[in-house]
Structure 1
C-alpha cells in the first residue's frame, strides 16, 4: 500500500498522543501526510494541534469523538478517509476502534492489549478480543499491528531479530525493564496510573514448559547488571508481550521483569493495605468511583514532571539458547535518557519510547514494508526495516553478550 499524502489518524490525546503528534510533526523528513487528531474533548485536541503548529509548523485537523462509541467513530472516520488509525487512547477502546477501521477500510495500530477498567487477574492467554477480529482484517486485506510500543512492541521485534540472526534455538526470553531515573515526586507512575498500579496488584503470569504459570505479586525477583545503570532488582510482573511471544515462540520460557524502587514499593504496599488500590466502587459524595480511579486522578500526570526527570532507562530482551550447538545469551536493548527525550519532544522516556515505535510502524505500513494485510504481533514481522526506522527517528538499540542469565529468587 502506498498512499499519496495519506490521512493518518491519532486517537487519544493523552501524554502518548501528544508525543506522537509532535513526532509526526517534527520528524517528517521526505514523507508527506495529513495528520488528524481525535480526542474526547475539544480542549485536548485544540491544545495539541496548537502546539505542533507553533513548534513545528504543521497543521493538524481536529475532531471530537468518544472512541468507545463505534457508530460515532465510523461517521467521523468516513469524513476523514484515513489510510491508517493509530489508537493510543485507553485500552478499553481497542475493539470499538478496530471495528470502525474494518468498516471504513483503514489499517490499525495500538500500543497495548485490550483491557476493560474492571478487569483484574485476567486468565491467560490475553489478546482473545483482538484475535477474534483477525479473520475480518485478513478478508479485507487490512493490516492491524497489535501492541507496537516499546514493551510491548520493540522488545518483540528484538526477539524476532535474535531468532533470525543471533541464535539457532531459543530456550528462554526475559523482558527486562529498568527505569533508574529520578524526579521530584514522592509517588508517581510513568504512564496511566490506574493501569500501572493495577498490574502491580495482579498475580504475575509467565510461560514455562509449554504452559501458563502464576505467582503472587512481588513473589519472584532477580538482579541484573544492566548497561549504563548497573545492578538493579527486578520483579516478575504479568505483561502483554509474554502472551503474544508464547504463541509465536512457544518452546521458550518467557517472563517479564520490572524494576520497582524501594520507596515506590513501600508506598505502594501502604496504599494497598489501606484499600486505596481497590477496584470496587464506593460512594464519594454524589459520585461512585473506585479508590484506584480516585487515586489515579489525584496522582501527578507523568507529563507534568517530565521536565524534571533525570536519569536513564534500560529496556530489552535477555534471550538464551544455542548457536552452532553452543550455549549463548544475548541482551538486545535500548538505553534512553530522560533529559534527551525532553530535549527532543518535551517528554519522559516512557512516552517517548511508546510514541516513536508507533510512528515507525505507521510509516512502514504506508510504505508497504509492514503492510501484511492481516492482524499480527510485532514479532511476526520482518525486524530489520523497523529497527532501521526507529534508529532514524532517534531511538537507538544495542546488542551485548552477558556471561550468564541470572536465576530468579522466589520470595516467601
Structure 2
C-alpha cells in the first residue's frame, strides 16, 4: 500500500462488490490507488481480497463492519482515511454511509435509491432521504453521486447526452431494459431477489404532463424491436431513474420498461398468489422473517449460474422530441453478451454493467472531472467524459434512429 495514493473503499461484498473489486484490480492500467473492502462478515471480505490478489496481483485491505451502524462505520473510515466511498451494499445502508462520509470528509457513490426492507409502493417522488443531506455535502465541498449503475446510472447519462447533442427539445423518455439471455435455472433473478421481486409487485409510477401517475403491476406494456435481440414485450415498472429525470427533464413523459419472460411471469404469479412474495413477517422456527426474504434466501444467487448464462442484453433510452423543428426519435443504448462479461470478469451482464459505471464515475471524481462538490444525479453531470470512460473500460454504447415509435398499451 502506498500512503500517497488515494484510498478507495468498497462497501458491500455481494455480487456487485465482487465484480467491482475485480474491475478495479484488473483494469487499473497505470493508475495507482489503495483498495479497501468492507463487508458484514470476515469470510466475504477474505474471499474477494484473495481472489483479486491471486488473479490480478492487487492487494486489498479487509474490514468487517455493518454499514447500517453509522458510529462503527465512522471509526473504520477514520482508520482508512478514504478519498471516496462506493456503497454497493443493500439500499437500507445509504443514509448511514452518507452520514459517515460527511463525518470523515469522503466523496460518496451508490447505485440505487435508499430503501428499507419493509417499504412498499413508496409515494413519488423518491430520493427524499438522500436529498435531505445534499446541503451538508455542498457545505463540505464533497461530491455525492446517486444511483450510478447502469439503470439507473448510465441511462441517466444517455439522456443528458441526447439533450446536449441530439435533440433540441425532449418530449418523451422511455428507459428500456431487455435481458434476452437464458440460463439453466427454472426461476431466478439477475440481482438481489428481494429487491427485484418486490419492485415487480409494486404499482408502476410514471411521469406525464408534469404529474405522477400510477397503474397496477403488469397493466401497461409495449413491444419494441431491439438491436441484436429483436422484438421484445416489455412491462412498465416503477424505477429509480424516473424520479430524478422527472426533476431534471420535467417537460418529458418518462417511464421505465422491463422485459419479463412468460415462464418467469407465470411462476411469479403463482408465488404471489400463494403468499410467498408477502413482506409481512411470519415465524419460522425461532426466527421472524417475511416470505419474500425467505424466498430470496433459497433462490439461487446470480453469481452461482453466471458461468452458464448465455445470450444478449440490451438496455437504453428511447427518446423522442424535435431537432431543428422536425420530429426525431433516438435510441441510445448498450448491447452486452453474458458470455463476454463472464470471460472478462467472471460475471453476468447485470453485475458487469453495474460495476463498470461505478468504477468510471469513481475515477472521474478522483480526476476532478466529476468532482462537483455537492450531491447530484448522473444526468446533472457532463456526459462525455463518463461515456468515453465506460468505453475504455469495456462497456460500449451506440445511437440508432428507430423508424417508428411504439405506443404503450393498457392491459385490461
Q: TM-score normalised to the size of structure 2?
A: 0.99
Superimposed CA distance per residue, residues 128-154 of structure 1 (whole angstroms, 9 cap, x where no aligned partner)? 000000000000000000000000000
CA distance 1:317–1:106, shift in 2 (3 Å): same
State yes or no: 1:290 paired with 2:274: no
For 1:120, what is the secondary structure of its paired residue? coil
TM-aligned CA deviation for residue 404 of structure 1: 1.9
- Asked if the contact 2:2–2:34 (Cα under 8 Å) also holds between the matched residues in 1, the reply is no
Superimposed CA distance per residue, residues 252-288 of structure 1 (whole angstroms, 9 cap, x where no aligned partner)? 0000000000000000000000000000001111111
TM-aligned CA deviation for residue 352 of structure 1: 0.1
- Asked if the contact 1:197–1:277 (Cα under 8 Å) also holds between the matched residues in 2, the reply is yes
For 1:30, what is the secondary structure of its paired residue? coil
TM-aligned CA deviation for residue 3 of structure 1: 10
- Asked if the contact 2:181–2:313 (Cα under 8 Å) also holds between the matched residues in 1, the reply is yes
Q: Distance in 2 between matches of 1:407 and 1:164?
A: 25
Q: Distance in 2 between matches of 1:168 and 1:43?
A: 52
Superimposed CA distance per residue, residues 187-212 of structure 1 (whole angstroms, 9 cap, x where no aligned partner)? 00000000000000000000000000
Q: Distance in 2 between matches of 1:141 and 1:156?
A: 23
Alignment partner, residue 203 of structure 1: 203
1:47-86 aligned at under 5 Å gives the runs: 47-86=47-86
Q: Which runs of 5+ in 2 are unaligned?
A: none
Superimposed CA distance per residue, residues 279-321 of structure 1 (whole angstroms, 9 cap, x where no aligned partner)? 0001111111100000000000000000000000000000000
Q: Distance in 1 between matches of 2:347 and 2:165?
A: 33
- Asked if the contact 2:175–2:257 (Cα under 8 Å) also holds between the matched residues in 1, the reply is yes
TM-aligned CA deviation for residue 22 of structure 1: 0.1
TM-aligned CA deviation for residue 396 of structure 1: 0.2
TM-aligned CA deviation for residue 235 of structure 1: 0.0
Q: TM-score normalised to the size of structure 1?
A: 0.99
For 2:242, what is the secondary structure of its paired residue? helix
4+ residue stretches of structure 1 with deviation over 2 A?
1-4
CA distance 1:92–1:294, shift in 2 (3 Å): same
Superimposed CA distance per residue, residues 58-96 of structure 1 (whole angstroms, 9 cap, x where no aligned partner)? 000000000000000000000000000000000000000
1:134-173 aligned at under 5 Å gives the runs: 134-173=134-173
- Asked if the contact 1:11–1:67 (Cα under 8 Å) also holds between the matched residues in 2, the reply is yes
Superimposed CA distance per residue, residues 4-34 of structure 1 (whole angstroms, 9 cap, x where no aligned partner)? 5100000000000000000000000121100
In angstroms, what is the RMSD of aligned CA positions? 1.4
- Asked if the contact 1:142–1:372 (Cα under 8 Å) also holds between the matched residues in 2, the reply is yes
- Asked if the contact 2:145–2:377 (Cα under 8 Å) also holds between the matched residues in 1, the reply is yes
TM-aligned CA deviation for residue 388 of structure 1: 0.3
CA distance 1:134–1:151, shift in 2 (3 Å): same
- Asked if the contact 1:9–1:37 (Cα under 8 Å) also holds between the matched residues in 2, the reply is yes
CA distance 1:288–1:331, shift in 2 (3 Å): same
Q: Distance in 1 between matches of 2:287 and 2:42?
A: 24
- Asked if the contact 1:2–1:367 (Cα under 8 Å) also holds between the matched residues in 2, the reply is no
How many residue pairs match? The answer is 412
- Asked if the contact 1:9–1:35 (Cα under 8 Å) also holds between the matched residues in 2, the reply is yes
TM-aligned CA deviation for residue 403 of structure 1: 1.2
CA distance 1:210–1:3, shift in 2 (3 Å): farther
- Asked if the contact 1:13–1:44 (Cα under 8 Å) also holds between the matched residues in 2, the reply is yes
- Asked if the contact 1:3–1:83 (Cα under 8 Å) also holds between the matched residues in 2, the reply is no
- Asked if the contact 2:313–2:349 (Cα under 8 Å) also holds between the matched residues in 1, the reply is yes
Q: Distance in 2 between matches of 1:104 and 1:271?
A: 44
Q: Distance in 2 between matches of 1:373 and 1:161?
A: 22
Q: Distance in 2 between matches of 1:403 and 1:101?
A: 47
For 1:177, what is the secondary structure of its paired residue? strand
Q: Distance in 2 between matches of 1:342 and 1:106?
A: 32
Q: Which runs of 5+ in 1 are unaligned?
A: none
Q: Distance in 2 between matches of 1:384 and 1:5?
A: 26
For 1:89, what is the secondary structure of its paired residue? coil
- Asked if the contact 1:70–1:97 (Cα under 8 Å) also holds between the matched residues in 2, the reply is yes
TM-aligned CA deviation for residue 177 of structure 1: 0.0
Alignment partner, residue 346 of structure 1: 346
For 2:93, what is the secondary structure of its paired residue? helix
TM-aligned CA deviation for residue 2 of structure 1: 15
CA distance 1:40–1:2, shift in 2 (3 Å): closer
Q: Distance in 2 between matches of 1:2 and 1:180?
A: 44
